[in-house]
Amino acid sequence: MKENGLESVRVAAEITASELPSGWRWALFTGLEEFLRLFEGLPVTVYALPEGTVFRNRGRNGVPVPVVRIEGRYSDFLIYETPALGFLCHSSGISTMAARYRIRAMDASMLSFGIRRAHPAIAPMIDRAAYIGGMDAVSSLAGARAIGREPQGTMPHSEVLLFREPRKAFEAYARATGKGRKIALIDTMYDEKREALIAAETVPDLYGVRLDTPRSRRGNFAQIISEVRWELDIHGFSHIKIFVSGGIKEEDVSLLRSAGADGFGIGTAISNAPAVDFALDLVEIDGQAYTKRGKFSGRKDVYRCPECLSYDVVPMGGANPVCADCAVREEMVLKKYIENGKRTENWEVSETREWVLDQLRTLQRRGDQ
């Protein structure tokens, strides 16, 4: 750029998603923390949706919703475009998938089990995004450190196999776990009902049992869960929870909940979630609205209805819109997070997660899944 006299050109760039994966009606915006760390110290100003925002890819008028706006000299940040998009695309896909599971089972316990399906180097990102999206806990040590919580998991099949008998394995698991929450795996060697009762009889303070039966062997999974619930209840173990894992699909959740599942371990569906296809485009050059074909030029204000979470995108400085469906004044949602290289705002991961859950309750009430 320097050789062509463009080093001092100032621009406004926006990050948008023309489409969302798999026909999603909404997505969850995450990855902002890593994004901002990349831009801290650069002579730019960054506006963005708050991390954890439920967003639509387009406003009512069809204009793509900017999730980020960067203002400054293009020469100061152009080399960061690729990693910046990577932070947002990957994290937002994972957190959205977690949120889609959460919205189908709002009161169920949900654990992130996805790190064994991804490269270990990104385990903290996967678990952090999953937690923000609504998972109650994560299974990796690095991921737990990233969110400031204790890791949670259950015993493996290999433990039962090494002892060659479920009862001995459950006894050893109980000793090793101490006062921690105990969830026994009950589908290694015998019928699930039988192993559930063995676990309940062997571990006095058993919290729950987990079914991880592969799809190729489980038959009617809902029926198996119902049978285990019945046997536990009729033998005086109604307090013991039932957790399920192993290829649980979105559409499975409601059926398995009604069959008696109290919690879910979700792995591959989260860690291998489709990325949100964000792109960065210049929309203003040296103060003039200017962009490439197929895009909308000029800086924009982004408004969201607090009741239905729909969006309106207007030219910067335009009138504050009223939601056409809810007849309420919409709220401007882009916030300044970096001003001339200096961070202006921080947040806690746990607070972000709680805000996400509030938004998901709104979507659930409106049937917007």
HEC string for 14-41: EEEECCCHHHCCCEEECCHHHHHHHHCC
Residue 85 scores a pLDDT above 90: yes
Q: Which structure tokens are listed for 254?
A: 């409601």
Average pLDDT, the chain: 92
Contact 245, 265 (CB under 8 A): yes
pLDDT of residue 218: 60
Helix-strand-coil split of the chain, %, nearest 5: 40, 20, 40
pTM over 0.85: yes
Residue 150 scores a pLDDT above 80: no
Among residues 227, 229, 233, 173, which one has the least CA distance to residue 205? 173
Mean pLDDT, rounded, for 123-151: 84
Contact 283, 292 (CB under 8 A): no
Burial class for 178, CB neighbours closer than 10 Å (0-12, 13-18, 19+): exposed
pLDDT of residue 216: 55
Mean pLDDT, rounded, for 171-184: 86
In 3-state terms, what secondary structure has residue 92?
helix
pLDDT of residue 300: 98
In sequence order, what are the beta bridge partners of 336? 47
**6-10, 76-80, 287-291: the lowest-pLDDT one:** 6-10
Contact 47, 69 (CB under 8 A): yes
pLDDT of residue 7: 77
Mean pLDDT, rounded, for 158-179: 89
Query: Burial code of 273-312, b = ≥16 C-beta within 10 A, e = fewer?
Result: bebbbbebbbbbbeeeeebeeebbbebbbbbbbeebbbbb
In sequence order, what are the beta bridge partners of 245? 265
**27-41, 127-141, 262-276: the lowest-pLDDT one:** 127-141
d(CA 179, CA 169): 17
User: Could you tell me what percent of the chain has a pLDDT over 70?
Assistant: 96
Helices and strands, number each (H, E), in the chain? 13, 18
Q: Which amino acid is at 32?
A: L
